Amino acid sequence: MKFGGTSMAGTERIRRVAQIVRRQAAGGNQVAVVVSAMAGETDRLVNFCREAHALYDPAEYDVVVSSGEQVTSGLLALTLQGLGAKARSWLGWQLPVRTIEAHAKARIEDIDAPDMLESLEQGVIAVIPGFQGISADGRISTLGRGGSDTSAVAVAAAIDADRCDIYTDVDGVYTTDPRIVSRARKLKAVTFEEMLELASVGAKVLQTRSVGLAMKEGVRLQVLSSFNDEDATPADDLPGTMIVSEDEMNAMIERGEMERQHVTGIAHDKNEAKIILTRVPDKPGAVAEIFQPLAAASINVDMIIQNVGRDKGETDVTFTVPQADLARAQTLLEDRRGEIGFNRIITDSHIAKISVVGVGMKSHAGVAATMFRALSERGINIQAISTSEIKVSVMIDEDETELAVRVLHTAYGLDADLEDTAS
Ligand code: ADP
Ligand code: ASP
Ligand code: MG
C-alpha cells in the first residue's frame, strides 16, 4: 500500500490512513506500507536547499529532502501502534533500498530485505519512507520528484506482493486530469503502455518510472483513493483503476467490461520550454553540433523540428527542453555559437504540450487529423508536433492549455454523461 502527500498531510489524515492499513491487515494480509512526505513538505525542503546555496550539492540536498518521508513513516507507525496494531518503520538504509550513485535522481538497483520479510511474517506492519534509498557511496539518496510511487512498486516486487495499491486524492486514473475537466471519466483499467506514455507526457498521478518498473516486474498495480469513508468498497474488490497488460485489456473488452477507444486519455505538461536557433547552416552534422553538448549535460530534448532550408543554405531549428534546464541549455548553446553557426537564439517558457494517448490508434487512422481540426476550430495555434505509435503531442501557447484539453476530451468522445458527473 502506498499513500501520497495529500493522504499523509497531518495527523488526522494519517489516522485515516492507519485505519485503512489496519483494515487491510485485519483481512489476514501481511502489509508493507510506503509513504510520501506531507503535501507541500518536499517543496519546502527543496526551497531551503536553494536558499542555503544556489548551486547546492545534490548529496546534501538528498539529506535534506529525504527527511519529509522519515517524519511521516514514524508518525504512521506510531498511529498504527496507537490503534493496537504491531508496526515499525524501515528507513531506506535499514532495508536497504540500494540505488545507483546519482544524487537527487537515483534509480533503485535492488531491495533485499530479509529482516523486513521476517518481521512481516511475525505480523508486524512495515512502514517504509518512499523516495529514499542508500546510494553506492553509502550516503542517502532520493529518486526524483514523485519517486514514492517507484519505491512502492520496487518494494512490492522485492517481497513478491500480491498487489501494489497506490492510494491518492482521486479514486483512479481518469481520461484526463479530473481537476481540469469535470467531465473526465474514471477508467476501470488502463494498459501499462498507455499509462507509461500518459505519465511521461504529464499525467502526474503515477511517476513514469514506477509504471515501467511494474511492467517489467509484473507487479499488479491499482490506483485508488484514500479519501473514502469507512464503508467504501474494499481495495481487494478493485474499486480503483487497474494497470493491466494489453492481453488483459483485450479480454476485458471482449467481456464487455471496457469499451475500445481510439484515444484513452489526454495529458498536458507546462514544464517544458521552447528554444529556436535561427539560420543554422543546412548541412550534415549541424544538428549534431546542437544536440551533442545538451546530451553531454544530461539535458533531455523532447520535440524537435527542423524547418525546410531557406535560400543561402540555412535553416531554423526548434526544440523543447525541461524548463528547469532552460538557462543551462541556453548558456551551453551560446558557448558553442561559433561551432554551431546559428544567428539568434530565441527562448519561450510560455508553452504547453498537450498529448492524446491510446493503444487504439495503432490500428486506427485519423487520430491526429481529429486533433488538429478540433484545435483549429477553437483558434488554437499548433507550434510543433511529435508522435509515437500510441501518442500525438502538440505544442501550444500555455494560456490555451485548459481549453485545449477540454476541446480534445469532447472531440474524442471521452466526456462522461452529465448524470455520471452529477453524483
Ligand atoms: P500523490 O500525492 O498521492 O502522489 P499526486 O498529486 O502526485 O498525488 O497525483 C494525483 C493527482 O494527479 C490528482 O490529484 C490529479 O489532479 C492528477 N492527475 C493528472 N492526470 C490525471 C489523470 N489522468 N487521472 C487522475 N489524476 C490525474
Ligand atoms: N515527497 C516526494 C515528492 O514530493 C516524493 C513523493 O511524494 O512521491 O516528490
Ligand atoms: Mg505523486
pTM of the predicted model as reported, rounded to 2 decimal places:
0.94
b/e code 73-106 from CB counts within 10 Å (16+ = b) = bbbbbebbeeeebebbbbbbbebbbbbeeebbbb
State the CB neighbour count (10 A cutoff) for residue 262: 18
The pLDDT, as a whole number, for residue 231 is 86
Question: pLDDT over 70 for what percent of the chain?
Answer: 98
The model's pLDDT over 314-339, given as tens digits with 9 standing for 90+, comes to: 999 999 999 989 999 999 999 999 99
What are the CA-CA distances from residue 244 to residues 32, 161, 183, 191, 249 (Å)?
22, 16, 24, 5, 6
Is 146 a pocket residue for ligand 1 (Cβ < 6 Å)?
Answer: yes
Is residue 422 predicted with pLDDT exceeding 90?
no
- Whether 41 has a pLDDT exceeding 50, the answer reads yes
**How far is residue 39's CA from residue 50's CA, in Å, rounded to a whole number?**
19
What is the Cα–Cα distance from 191 to 194, expressed in whole angstroms? 5
CB 66 within 8 A of CB 129: yes
Distance CA 177, CA 206 (A): 12
CATH of domain 2-260: 3.40.1160.10
Residue 302, pLDDT score:
93
408: CA distance to ligand 2 center in Å? 30
Q: Identify any residues that bridge with 345 across adjacent strands, giving them in sequence order.
A: 277
- Quickly state the pLDDT bin for 420 (edges 50, 70, 90): low
Give the cell for residue 59: 548529496
pLDDT tens, position by position, 335-393: 999 999 999 999 999 999 999 999 999 988 899 999 999 999 999 999 999 999 999 99
What is the position in ligand 1's atom list of the atom closest to the CA of 167?
3
pLDDT digits (tens, 9 = 90+) for 190-246: 999 999 999 999 999 999 999 999 999 999 999 999 998 888 899 999 999 999 999
How many angstroms does the Cα of residue 206 sit away from the middle of ligand 3?
6
Amino acid at 254: E
What does the pLDDT read at residue 419?
Answer: 64
State whether the Cα torsion 194-199-201-202 is positive or negative. positive
| pLDDT on residue 277 | 96
DSSP state of 226: S
Report the pocket of ligand 2 as residue ranges, CB < 6 Å.
4-5, 36-37, 42, 68, 130-131, 145-149
**Per-residue model confidence (pLDDT) at position 423:** 42
> How far does the centroid of ligand 1 lie from the alpha carbon of residue 204, in Å?
5
Contact by Cβ (8 Å): 245, 234: no
Q: How many CB atoms lie within 10 A of CB 245?
A: 13
Mean pLDDT of the chain: 95
For the segment 141-169, the average pLDDT, to the nearest whole number, is 97
Q: Whose CA is nearest to atom 7 of ligand 1?
A: 205
- Confidence check: pLDDT of 266 > 60: yes
pLDDT at 418 over 80: no
